[in-house]
Copies of this chain bind each other. A is one copy, B any other.
Amino acid sequence: MGAMSPDPLLRALEGIVGAVHVLVDPALRAGFESDWTGRYHGRALAVVRPSSTAEVAAVVRACADAQVPVIPQGGNTGLVGGGVPRPGSTGVVLSTRRLDSVGAVDTSSGEVVAGAGAPLGAVQDAARAAGWDVGVDLASRDSATLGGMVATNAGGEHVVRYGRMRNHVIGVEAVLADGSTVGRVPALRKDATGIEWAGVLAGSEGTLAVITQVHLALVARLDAHAVALVAFDDFASVARIAGELRATLPSLLALEAFFAGGLRRVRDHTGLPSPFADDWPAYLLVELATSAEDAARETERLASVLDRHSGVRATAVAEDEAGAARLWAYRDRHTEAINAAGVPHKLDVTLPHDRLVEFTERVPGTVAAIEPDAELVLFGHVGDGNIHVNVLGLDPDDATVDHAVLQLVASMHGSISAEHGIGIAKRRELALTRTDADIAAMRAIKHALDPEGVLNPGVLLPDPR
């Protein structure tokens, strides 16, 4: 496998994981050094691929001894640059992908233990085969790993039903910056013996520990799905009916909104036919998931809510799985249609439910005041108040519009990052919605667990002033 590296750290790492799992060849490193959008990239000293908790611990210890930063990386599906080397600095990328074991599903309790590097899709397959399912689903399911999903407290399209990743974690095992191992798996659902590591590490984005194993609570597998696309005169009607559906339909799995402009982009890009005879300003995609015996009742209930609302202009209901996929395509293909039209500025925000309509009314003016020719495309998880704000026609290096939109969000008591995290992308904006006391306390915890700043430096927390 080539000559032994002369660098003492690389030699130590080779001793821990084997030379074949210490990638120094630029061609092999490349896929780990850049995020999938190509926006964030840096140079790694090496990419190390441990296969056990003990190896992770030894790798972290070796890097700490050499005072070389460790950048934990799962499936590298992040959107905020939190899992790749920072430009202008270096470090060792610790890839968790070989920690990919998926244990036997406990069919009585609906639980599974898996390595932090197990892709969500593999865990979903194992769960479904055993009559269960994973409560969180992401478009990046074949790459996104459990560890990364805990570290970012992942969201996705089923949050309206099941909540975020943290809600499903019974326990984790993780390696701290000093190489010590905390937490335990399997864990117990009832264990009131102090701080829970899953609670501390959710949202920490690799800055406090490298998660090595995850003990996950599953949800019941539901085999009957119903999908409908509904057209409205305005977004106010979408928001109103979304609130009502959320309060009355226990079977609700997803509640997604998009607008005429985004639909036009999707149709131009994909050649898909119009979902309805006419065009309408706003659309709501609804998915229900139930047991087979409840399916008819829940779809009737959905129909009766829609019937009562005067704002509904047209409704398309999927007849089968292929029809459901066709309706979902109008929502799911927004991202690629927008990317095909230019280099978008992408912001991922949450508004309080009662200010969602006001936000969609104000954000066009905020953007136009800075760049009158910019094109704004909004879509998102309306059930959670989570809007993905896309702006086309801007200078890629000018963040003036981004800042203005995030400031608007903060002034309306929203979140500047609904589900993508902070990473390096938004750490300067963190203070828009977290107080100085909050940031100081987060920094104190970081310093307590990682005094030398070994784990993922430059991510999440702004540089001290």
Which A positions have Cβ atoms within 8 angstroms of B?
106-110, 131, 152-153, 155, 159, 163-164, 166-167, 176, 180-184, 186, 188-200, 202-205, 217, 220, 243-244, 246-247, 250, 293, 297, 350, 352-353, 381, 384-386, 413-422, 426, 430, 433-435, 437-438, 440-442, 444-445, 447-449, 460-461
Contact = CB atoms under 8 A, between A and B. Distances in A.
A110, A191, A420, A433 — most chain B CB neighbours (10 Å) = A191
A192 B109 contact: no
Nearest to A217: B163
A405 to B, nearest CB: 15
Contacts of A353: 106, 108-109
B196 A422 contact: no
| Stoichiometry, copies per complex | 2
A408 to B, nearest CB: 15
Given A155-B190, A422-B194, A176 B385 contact: no
A415 B191 contact: yes
A437 B195 contact: no
A192 B417 contact: yes
Contacts of A199: 166, 196, 198-200, 202-203
Contact of A191 (B167, B176, B350): B350
Most chain B CB within 10 A, of A166, A182, A194, A197, is at A194
B110 A247 contact: yes
A378 to B, nearest CB: 16
Contacts of A243: 108-109
Contact of A192 (B189, B413, B422, B437): B422
Contact of A435 (B182, B413, B442): B182
Contacts of A386: 190
B188 A350 contact: yes
A253 to B, nearest CB: 15
Nearest to A132: B247
Contacts of A422: 192-194
A418 to B, nearest CB: 4
| A-side interface mostly | loop
B195 A200 contact: yes
B193 A433 contact: yes
A166 B163 CA distance: 12
A447 B243 CA distance: 44
Contacts of A220: 250
A350 B191 CA distance: 7
A193 B434 contact: yes
Contact of A384 (B190, B293, B444): B190
B203 A194 contact: yes
Contacts of A196: 153, 166, 199, 202-203
Given A193-B434, A194-B204, A203-B199, A188 B448 contact: no
Given A183-B438, A247-B108, A250-B220, A192 B448 contact: no
B438 A192 contact: no
A192 B434 contact: no
Contact of A193 (B107, B293, B417): B417
A195 B159 contact: no
B188 A195 contact: no
A192 B247 contact: no
A167 B167 contact: yes
A25 to B, nearest CB: 34
Nearest to A448: B448
Contact of A437 (B181, B217, B420): B181
Contacts of A163: 167, 189, 217
A243 B109 CA distance: 7
Contacts of A131: 247
19 contacts: A108-B247, A155-B190, A163-B189, A182-B437, A183-B438, A186-B352, A186-B413, A188-B350, A188-B352, A190-B381, A192-B203, A193-B203, A194-B203, A194-B205, A194-B460, A199-B199, A199-B202, A293-B297, A447-B448
